[in-house]
Structure 1
Amino acid sequence: MVDRLRRTGLEPTEIEVKAAVQALPKTIGETLSAFANGEGGTLLLGLDEEGFRPAANFDAERIRDALATWCNEKMWPPIRSTIEVVDYEGAQVVRLDVDASDPVDKPCFVLDRGEYNGSFIRVGDGDRRLTRYEVTQLLSNRDQPTHDQQVVPDATVDDLDPRLVDQVLRHAAERSARAFSGVDRVTALKRLGALKDLDGTPRPTLAGLLALGFYPQQFFPQLFASVVVLPTTEMGELGPEGERFLENVTVDGPIPVILQEVTAALRRNMSRAAIVRGLGREDRYDYPTEVIRELVTNALMHRDYSPESRGTQVQIELYPDRLVVKNEGGLFGGVTVDQLGAARIASKSRNATLAKLLGDVPLPDRTNETIAENRGSGLVAAVLALRRAGMSPPDFDAGPGRLTVTVPRTALLAPQTIEWIAGLGLGHLTDAQHLTLAIMRSSGRVSVGMLRAWGVQDRDAREAVRDLVTRGVAIRIGGKRYASYRLIDDVGDLPLPELHSAPTSPDTKVHQGIEADLDIIIQAIQAGHSTSRGLAAHLGMPYQTVLRRLRELEVRKLVEPTRPKHSSKQSYRLIGGDPA
């Protein structure tokens, strides 16, 4: 860690260094709060801030005890991490690894300054006081907000679209005949939370207008979605023709309309290729339509609708190398960034009424499907769709009062690769075979384990590679246990070579096994399985084996940890992006 500090000459966001020779720095509480309210971090006391050498006359025992007092008595909630005294270069350094607080315990604040004055967040190598809005958003995790249930006094039943209302009531009656069959429209809409009585008159709620209204922006002008298509990878840079935007549109109306028009605007600006699948063909874009729909739905459904945030819109930005979706509110409840898209989680929505209502609103182009299942599975479906397309999962950047989701454009099955596969003239290919060909093209080889990393079942993977070998497109290399496959030198033209298994020694077999494991883990990290236990569970490898392979990949500088060494939430990422 210190070597890294000396090489760069800078303190990264997750590390704070102080000499602390005479006493703890006055800002120690701010640093502890900032680490706990963010993603955690490491505090090193006893190192000079210039050069990062051991500080002279540093009293490690006295500073350790003073730090323990701060952690246990002056912070709320208390910070319970172990404080270490570490021997280093002939001196001693005090080390504290601060884990991120549980979401429902945030904000962590300096006790005598209170929640609104004593809560901080890490920005660069410094600490910034959280705004009043950010603190309020963190505190809202402890209760169920009801902003979406608020009555809109100036709106009337006539502001709801009868067509949407009919569709919703029909679906609700099919879902729960006891509650919705045989009752009048007003009563049914009240039961759905779309209407409430105000002074004896039924009025739309915010949720009702957002899901079923003709034009919710009549009452809330900024509750829309903006779509910006950029010519370069940086906001504000001009394109080759001097253009600032390739497209810049405001999309308003109710959520079903916003969802449809945002998807159409993005598809207009994405590359497209036709993929042969079974007996048919389908268009594939830079980003699967299902992914766009799920990400935008989540942003509209789970954003903050409190009065303080009604002046901001959901922002969608399409760059040449990434798709970005931003919304106000941050994460809600006990959900952490590590859980997003990883597995089904207990469904808890900031806007419970709106989420339930959207569960009855049909998709504009698929009347047999609704906008929101409301079962915590939307982001899971998006991640699975990305894996099927050979794409890495989204990056979730969550902070107090905000959430940014970034999907990189790089894909194994990019339109150019799809066109290459189509040019092979094979026809009748499965999704597993498309992914197999793409991995062989990008990585030089593929194995059943590497396909498993992308969510392909072992049986489907074996059928995929076996058929490609039979067609003369690929050859098998290595023995049965560690078999991998590569494209033949001139795909489609050369006959299939006769395969011979060369004799191998025990040491060679061990080496082959390790290399095969490393290939699999690299693909699994690329597919979004970033923690050691998550990798072990997904790949069916022993946990200790995964740890050893991760250490080897670190030595080879192919992966790096994303958190301090002793973090209980350690995860890993590839160095330099695509391992191919």
Structure 2
Amino acid sequence: MTSEEIARLVALLRQTGTDLRDVEVKAAGGGLPKSIRDTLSAFSNDRGGTVILGLEEKAGFQPAAGFDAGRIRDALASACNDDLHPPVRGEIEMVPFEGALVVVAEIGELDPRFKPCYVAARGEYNGSFTRGGDGDRRLTDFEIHLLHTNRGQPDDDREPVPGATEADLDDTEIQFLLARVRQRQPRAFADLDRQQVLRRLNILTEDSAGVLRPSLGGLLTLGIYPQQFFPQLNATLVVYPGTSAQDIPVNGPRFLENRTFDGPIPVIVDEAVTAVLRNTSVRSFIDGSGRIDRYDYPAEVIREGVANALLHRDYSSYSRGTPVQITLYSDRLVIANPGGLFGAVTEDDLGREGVTSTRNPVLARLLQDARLPETGRMVCENRASGIPTMLRELRRTGSPLPEFHNRITRFKLLLPRHTLLDDETTTWIGGLGQQGLTTTQQLALAEMRLGRAVTNSTMRNLGLEAHRATSELADLVSRGIVVRVGERRHARYLIAPRAEQLALYAATNLSDTELIKEALRDGRELSRRDLEQRTGLSYMKVLRALKDLEIAGTVRPTAPARSPLRRYRLAP
């Protein structure tokens, strides 16, 4: 990492006032901190990160007194090699910064086959960490279990279900599936009788006593009522009126809908999609072919999101009490399932054609031949096409790209509810004074304006080839409107902190609420996004400050909470 890159990164740290999720800063004036081993473990088990030693956070990330860069570099290299198992292979270097030397280490994510990385002296179950917020958190037994299963191929969906029999399967759907597989693969299935096909497809399997039972995958695909045996292997939907569970109108309902979807996976997918669409807005457009109705979230995108969550979730005994959770807020749709990404697939891989690794191969095989009740379409293609299809549909409708949040125990898909290049965003981009921006560059800037870091993978998901994605991001950096944080595969791009924002932080000790009041002092009505840009505060800090100011009667909104016209002004 160069001195210039360190300077940009420290500018972001000073702007936020604390460490970032993937950046850990220590003064190390008295030697290498013991806690740095926890951080090395956490970065290795998470998505990697950057360690900076020699800066004092409490002093505004200034060079630390008494810091011996050479000694600390050697001590850090020794800790990476001797104190962690498996050893951490970080890139460690001394970099000049503001008249001093700091030690910077780029720590990559460990190959899933070798996780967890742990502090050797504490052992695997006491010395394995991950990142939580801007700190390190010890892994739970369940998280370590998932990392172990990620080294091989789980067979939870192949297990026989105790107490279940063939009578618990839907005969009509079995007949449809058998006819389909016999037609598609006659050499494998045409000459077999019903029970032989069911066994070959792992729909039926023998238990320890030799009795044929439906497998978990067979029951979830073709069962009449799988929840008789697994009450929580279903999906739930909660619809909130505001942007959070706590954002409740005065005398209003706590939530607008609260439902549970039972049955086999094809039924759950159909019912969940219908329920989500029923709770979203629809707009009509007229084009040459007639009227087009467009929902806030395309039906195809919702269907792929729910089907993926049910297919790829963890079905081990640890999480059979946890359903797939669908949550609809006024500004976003969230679909979450237990169990993070499986195998060698990473968040950056999502959206690439042909990239797949399934935790539940029996279930994936069956769902490609099981039909959805309403449309008769197959539940999934089992061709790694689900997320690419989702991205294409979102690009077609001008919607923002989804956010993927992957943790060891949980995977979350977040779909924002607005048009990415709305009038306000287009005006903001125009105000940057940059000529000749491509459409994808404008979309990337719109993503960054929402507080979302953009990566090379983001640009590829917007439809660019890898080399073109790199050049367009580099152009934004050279224009001075975007900064790059991190190196190589950990690089991400953010809106450049404006000089006046950094000066405001450096020259004053204003609180967040005082900064908001100063931004509104000229009498203009500003949106939340405007306030983020004018103050340099993060999304959550602006949200909290506005709430405090509203309660105090100092700031008044100009429109209801769910209105896209909502602005803020100082109270008279």
Counterpart-to-counterpart distance in 1, 2:316 and 2:466: 45
Letter in 2 for 1:572: Y
Counterpart-to-counterpart distance in 2, 1:141 and 1:364: 33
Alpha-carbon deviations, 1:59-110, whole Å to 9, x = none? 2111111100111222233222221112223322111122222333322222
What is the deviation of 1:27?
1.1
Change (3 A) 1:181 1:322: same
Alpha-carbon deviations, 1:110-158, whole Å to 9, x = none? 2232332211111122211010111111222210000000001200100
Counterpart selection for 1:397 from 384, 398, 405: 405
Change (3 A) 1:106 1:170: same
Change (3 A) 1:141 1:45: same
Letter in 2 for 1:354: L
Counterpart-to-counterpart distance in 1, 2:134 and 2:427: 41
Alpha-carbon deviations, 1:287-345, whole Å to 9, x = none? 0000000000000000000001101000000011000001001000100111112x113
Q: Does 1:565 align with 2:486?
A: yes
Counterpart-to-counterpart distance in 2, 1:392 and 1:574: 17
Report the counterpart of residue 512 of structure 2 in structure 1.
Answer: none
What is the deviation of 1:524?
5.2
Counterpart selection for 2:240 from 230, 247, 261: 230
Report the counterpart of residue 531 of structure 1 in structure 2.
Answer: 455
Counterpart selection for 1:334 from 332, 335, 344: 344
Contact 1:227 1:317 in 2 (8 A): yes
What is the deviation of 1:573?
5.2
Change (3 A) 1:225 1:574: farther
Q: Give runs of aligned pairs for residues 406-485 of structure 1, distance below 5 A.
A: 406-411=414-419, 443=426
Report the counterpart of residue 39 of structure 2 in structure 1.
Answer: 31
Q: Does 1:53 align with 2:62?
A: yes
Counterpart selection for 1:72 from 70, 81, 90: 81
Change (3 A) 1:326 1:79: same
What is the deviation of 1:534?
7.1
Counterpart-to-counterpart distance in 1, 2:342 and 2:299: 26
Change (3 A) 1:517 1:9: closer
Contact 1:103 1:335 in 2 (8 A): no
Counterpart-to-counterpart distance in 2, 1:254 and 1:519: 42
Report the counterpart of residue 257 of structure 1 in structure 2.
Answer: 267
Q: Does 1:551 align with 2:477?
A: yes
Letter in 1 for 2:487: H
Give the TM-score normalised by structure 2.
Answer: 0.78
Counterpart-to-counterpart distance in 2, 1:533 and 1:92: 33
Q: Give runs of aligned pairs for residues 280-295 of structure 1, distance below 5 A.
A: 280-295=290-305
SS in 2 for 1:363: coil
Contact 1:525 1:572 in 2 (8 A): no
Report the counterpart of residue 517 of structure 1 in structure 2.
Answer: 437
Alpha-carbon deviations, 1:216-268, whole Å to 9, x = none? 00000111100000001012332344211100001111001101110111111
Counterpart-to-counterpart distance in 1, 2:406 and 2:469: 29
Report the counterpart of residue 25 of structure 2 in structure 1.
Answer: 17
Alpha-carbon deviations, 1:24-78, whole Å to 9, x = none? 1111110111122222222121222311222222221111111001112222332
Counterpart-to-counterpart distance in 2, 1:374 and 1:400: 23
Letter in 1 for 2:261: V
What is the deviation of 1:284?
1.7
SS in 2 for 1:249: strand
Contact 2:55 2:102 in 1 (8 A): yes
Report the counterpart of residue 161 of structure 1 in structure 2.
Answer: 170
Counterpart selection for 2:205 from 174, 191, 196: 196
Contact 1:138 1:401 in 2 (8 A): no
Counterpart selection for 2:97 from 72, 80, 88: 88
Q: Give runs of aligned pairs for residues 107-256 of structure 1, distance below 5 A.
A: 107-198=116-207, 199-256=209-266
SS in 1 for 2:93: strand
Counterpart-to-counterpart distance in 2, 1:171 and 1:59: 70
SS in 1 for 2:50: strand
Contact 1:97 1:567 in 2 (8 A): no
What is the deviation of 1:23?
2.0
Letter in 1 for 2:245: M
> Structure 1, unaligned stretches of length 5 or more?
413-437, 447-511
Counterpart-to-counterpart distance in 1, 2:381 and 2:67: 58
Counterpart-to-counterpart distance in 1, 2:454 and 2:114: 25
Letter in 2 for 1:137: L
SS in 2 for 1:122: strand
What is the deviation of 1:192?
1.2
Counterpart-to-counterpart distance in 2, 1:47 and 1:443: 39
Change (3 A) 1:298 1:50: same
Contact 1:99 1:567 in 2 (8 A): no
> Structure 2, unaligned stretches of length 5 or more?
1-8, 497-528, 534-572
Report the counterpart of residue 522 of structure 2 in structure 1.
Answer: none
Counterpart-to-counterpart distance in 1, 2:491 and 2:174: 47
Contact 2:49 2:490 in 1 (8 A): no
Aligned length: 484
Change (3 A) 1:529 1:132: closer
Q: Does 1:267 align with 2:260?
A: no
Change (3 A) 1:58 1:439: closer
Q: Does 1:324 align with 2:334?
A: yes
SS in 1 for 2:389: helix
Counterpart-to-counterpart distance in 2, 1:574 and 1:290: 32
Counterpart-to-counterpart distance in 2, 1:56 and 1:442: 44
Change (3 A) 1:526 1:362: farther
Q: Does 1:100 align with 2:114?
A: no
Contact 1:216 1:254 in 2 (8 A): yes
Change (3 A) 1:520 1:159: closer
Counterpart selection for 1:377 from 385, 399, 413: 385
Report the counterpart of residue 309 of structure 2 in structure 1.
Answer: 299
What is the deviation of 1:543?
7.0
Contact 2:24 2:134 in 1 (8 A): yes
Alpha-carbon deviations, 1:183-240, whole Å to 9, x = none? 3222111111110123343210100110000110000011110000000101233234
Q: CA RMSD in A?
A: 3.0
What is the deviation of 1:522?
1.9
Kindly, what percent of the aligned residue pairs are identical? 46
Give the TM-score normalised by structure 1.
Answer: 0.77
Counterpart-to-counterpart distance in 2, 1:539 and 1:445: 27
Q: Which moved more, 1:18-27 or 1:162-171?
A: 18-27
Letter in 2 for 1:252: D
Change (3 A) 1:9 1:222: same
SS in 1 for 2:25: strand
